Amino acid sequence: MKITPNKLYSNYLVVYFDVLGWKDLTLNSPLACSFVSNRINGLRYKLKSRSIFSREKVISFFFSDSVILTLELPMDNENNLEKQKIIFYQIAELQSELFENWGVLLRGFITIGECFIDPFEHVCFGPAINKSVLKEKLICFPKIVLDKDHFPDKLMVNNSRQNSVQINRKDSWWNKKAHRGECYEEFKEIQESFFLDYIKVQKNSLDRYVGGFNQVNNFRTSFRSKLNKQITNDVTMQNEKLSLKYIWLTKYYDKCFRKNSFHLDYKNFTKSN
């Protein structure tokens, strides 16, 4: 019997991302790999612990250095937008935490569309997954980009100390040297789309607590130290493609903390940028 797509597919939020630096981590620090994979897998359980997700199908697939997180979104459900914002906020916190603690960066794409998901057989496919995988390949920098067809505007979440906090921002500092090959306009469009503002989200999250100023300062120092260590590494600087990622991240850091460049050693590479 032939199964028609509209009977098979359901509407899902699809988050697809690659774990950058995973290969080196598996070779040099298997224990760190275990912590990182547990933290990523734990995201699903963290979401499920919230009442708004108690009856929802939050499903994740982790294979090699790639992760797919899906949430079924019934059409016209009044809580859909709130659920999306919570997921985005949690992923943004995850991004900062992974880099601060293990030097791991994430790069991905988020969309909404039709998919088939079978968590028991570990099967997932559909137009939305195809789109997220293809678009992710166009993203050169360590960020998770939001599909402009579904998330064209600013996204705000409630904060206990501030009325609202923006959880996404546009990239105005991406480097054209990162472009390789054809389809420049498509490449440019995705670089300038909104992405999860993970450094700012973590900063605002820490600022909510008692002693928040000290926690934010510790986070800023720790993140800067990790970034400084990564970008001045000889292996990193000899790899132009990898260097572009860290230079982008440095500029992003500066914008989040409203600081001028903290003079990381770009060596001779920055003379051409």
pTM of the model: 0.87
What whole-number distance in Å separates Cα of residue 44 and Cα of residue 157? 20
At 33, list the tokens: 């790999």
Domain coverage including residue 178: 5-272
Give me the tens of pLDDT residue by residue for the chain, a chain 273 residues long. 344 455 689 999 999 999 988 887 888 888 888 899 999 989 988 898 888 887 888 898 988 889 999 999 887 777 888 899 999 999 999 999 999 888 889 999 999 999 999 888 788 999 999 999 999 999 989 999 999 999 989 998 876 655 677 899 998 888 777 776 668 888 888 989 999 999 999 888 887 776 778 888 888 888 888 888 777 765 555 677 777 888 899 899 988 887 544 443 333 333 333
Secondary structure, 3-state, 21-42: CHHHHHHHCHHHHHHHHHHHHH
At 166, list the tokens: 């923006």
Helices (H), 170-211: 184-191, 198-207
Q: What total number of domains does the chain contain? A: 1
Query: Does an H or E element contain 20, and which?
Result: strand 10-20
Give the CA diameter of the chain: 65
pLDDT of residue 150: 93
- CATH number of the domain within which 197 lies: 3.30.70.1230
